[in-house]
Structure 1
Amino acid sequence: MNYCQRFTELGNLFKQGADCRLPETKTSIRFFSFGSTLCSGETLPADCHIEENYSFEYPVFTPCGKQKQDKAILLLHGLNERNWTKYLTWAEYLCSNTGKPVILFPIAFHINRSPLSWSTPRALSSLLNCRRNKYTDDRSISFANVALSERISQNPERFYLSGRQTCADLTSLYEEIKTGKHPLFTEGTHIDIFAYSIGAFLSQVALMANPKGLFADTRLFMFCGGSIFRSMHGVSRSIMDRAAFEKLYNYYVYTFGMEPIAKWFRDKAFDAFFQMILPERFQTQRESFFERIGEKIRGIVLAQDVVIPYHGVQEALGIKNTEVRIELLDFPYPYSHENPFPVNLKDVSSVDRSFMNVFSQAAGFLE
Structure 2
Amino acid sequence: MQSRFAPVRDTFHDLFAAGRETGAALAVWYDGTPVVDLVGGTRAAVPTGATVPAVGADHPWQPDTLVNVYSVGKPVAALCLLMLVDRGRVGLDAPVSAYWPGFRAPATVRQVLSHTAGLPAFPVPRPAEAVTDWGLLCADLAAADPEWEPGSVAGEHAWTYGHLVGELVRRVDGRTVGRFLAEEIAGPWRLDLAFGLGAADQRRCADLSYADPGWPDATAGEPGSLRARALDNPPGGRDVAVVNGPSWRSAEIPAVNLHATAAALARLYAGLLAGGTLDGVRLFDPDLVAEATRVQYDGPDLVLDRAAHWTLGMQWEPDGSWGMGGIGGSSAWADPERGYTFAYVTSRLGAHDRVDELVEALHSCL
TM-score by length of 2: 0.24
| Higher RCO (CA 8 Å, separation ≥ 6 residues) | 2
